[in-house]
Chain A
């Protein structure tokens, strides 16, 4: 009797851990885009959650129309990248360097975007359907079996993490971005078209949010209010991990998602308190975040 009790607990623990990893993957993809944009442009994009939600809705529509999940996520990536680029060109580039004013402007954009999306897609929740090959369960040690789609999400996050690292450290664009983070004016002086790089980086960061929206809409669901949720998670992840650092976003996402998942599983009515406690603890010891550089 005792044995089976312990066994059930371990199984629950393993499933909760896997759920935490899934959530961490999702948080990482959203927050890495947020952090990338901040790192180069010092823009706190308060509309990042709206980009996530837009991606989710676009992915839903395209998947429904073409019955191809892959086309859905590609379309979401492209459409949201365009939306991000448009945001940078039409509003943010006017006030480059005034970070507080840019944050306020993106708050305005997020309010309007949330309302227009509510008008178009209504208040109900959607689920993006997966190809049948992916919507199966696979055996996993201890946990028993686990959804294939969620395991693929973890793999996808790893892929994006490695991809971003390679782009930043092994390509010319990455070199330009890193140079821009360190000294924007010097980079301009060497003849690089910095405003164009800004638009490009904003588009990449936005498309990460958009693709995350499709993934989130597949393994969880899409509904109004998700924009606020993922904006909050991105904020806490980068505050914990360090603004502008991609490895920091990974560590932050892991910490925040694990705290949230274990908290909700074991002490349901105080789940959010742990996330908050982590943030306060990090701020008290390292105000710039775990891997952040001091300003």
Chain B
């Protein structure tokens, strides 16, 4: 019974490329998986450690910038390296960035973490905009395409979709696995009772910083996928709007469960692409902002929470004797 939903999702992802056109394959499917992986890093941090970070797009941007710097030098900026080395460096830098941001934010909680990570994100944005030596300023990097491996062009729609799907699945499975390890359990204990965990002898700051590092690694993978999807990266990729987009997608999907990341990313991407059809051109932000506001006001655990609550109510209506329902977690508390 518990396997039905995962198997259905796997089947859906396998069949998806053969029932949709190339726009839905890459611009909706590929984007959902790449962007969703960045959102997953936020959901991992929030759901299991209670830290809401707004710097996940920044970390993803560092992964993307590093990949572009080492595989697609633009305007004389960058060093061309073999792609496996470039990817290792990019993921290493993203993880390092995650660790460093964790180090900055480690002594803060709740609202303060949000503020400080936002300040970090905006500082990075202005750095990319001002700096031409490393980030190539306003232009950024262009023509960053995925490598061709053994004659298979990973940039072609179908291989790119499956590549994204495999990486997203690995990240998702990785998160589900990590939260069951002693490390993951310690993080959740830390989220609920930091003082007790400290009294038990755990190194609380170290655990938090490591969680940020892991989230940085995941965001780095998402960032590389995002770079390949757009084939370019510029300060606009790490500006306030994309930074907030990650948060909005996470809250839309439901920030309490890893699956919410991809649900949120999918809904966000669809609204992003079809806002023009519902509402006047260019007013996408008003629409998504209002949806976000409605979710925050009326269903703080997002769409997955909404579905869960409706289904438990439905199940309860069927068999009233099993009354104990799980409490949905309120992100505002």
Q: A98-B330, A101-B332 are known contacts; what are 14 more A-B pairs with Cβ within 8 Å? A: A100-B52, A101-B331, A104-B292, A105-B293, A107-B247, A108-B290, A111-B288, A119-B283, A239-B115, A269-B132, A270-B127, A273-B127, A276-B119, A283-B108
Of the candidates B123, B247, B289, B332, the one whose C-beta lies within 8 Å of that of A115 is B289
| Contact assessment for B332 and A107 in the assembled complex, using a CB-CB cutoff below 8 Å | no
What 1/0 mask marks residues of chain A from 209 to 250 whose CB sits below 8 Å from any chain B CB? 000000000000000000010001001100100010000000
| Contact assessment for A105 and B122 in the assembled complex, using a CB-CB cutoff below 8 Å | no
Of the candidates B115, B251, B286, the one whose C-beta lies within 8 Å of that of A104 is B251
- Cα(A104)–Cα(B289), bound, Å: 11
- Cα(A104)–Cα(B252), bound, Å: 12
Residues of B83-140 at the interface with A, using a CB-CB cut-off of 8 Å, are: 104, 107-108, 110-112, 114-116, 118-120, 122-123, 126-127, 130-133
| Contact assessment for B297 and A105 in the assembled complex, using a CB-CB cutoff below 8 Å | yes
Interface residues of chain A, those whose CB is within 8 Å of chain B, are 42, 44, 91, 94-95, 98-105, 107-109, 111-112, 114-116, 119, 228, 232, 235-236, 239, 243, 268-273, 275-276, 279-280, 283, 287
Contacts of B158 in A (CB 8 A): none
**Inter-chain CB contacts under 8 Å: number:** 117
Q: Is the interface of B mostly helix, strand, loop or mixed?
A: helix
Tell whether B30 is near chain A: CB-to-CB under 8 Å: no
| Contact assessment for A108 and B293 in the assembled complex, using a CB-CB cutoff below 8 Å | yes
| Contact assessment for A44 and B115 in the assembled complex, using a CB-CB cutoff below 8 Å | yes
- Cα(A115)–Cα(B331), bound, Å: 26
Lowest 4 A-B CB distances belong to which pairs?
A101-B332, A98-B332, A111-B289, A108-B293
| Contact assessment for B296 and A105 in the assembled complex, using a CB-CB cutoff below 8 Å | yes
| Contact assessment for B293 and A269 in the assembled complex, using a CB-CB cutoff below 8 Å | no
The distance from the CB of B297 to the nearest CB of chain A, in whole angstroms, is: 7
| Contact assessment for A232 and B244 in the assembled complex, using a CB-CB cutoff below 8 Å | no
Most buried by B among A95, A105, A239, A283: A283
Tell whether B146 is near chain A: CB-to-CB under 8 Å: no
- Cα(A283)–Cα(B109), bound, Å: 13
CB-nearest residue of chain A to B293: A108
- Cα(A276)–Cα(B111), bound, Å: 19
The distance from the CB of B62 to the nearest CB of chain A, in whole angstroms, is: 14
- Cα(A219)–Cα(B244), bound, Å: 30
- Cα(A91)–Cα(B298), bound, Å: 11
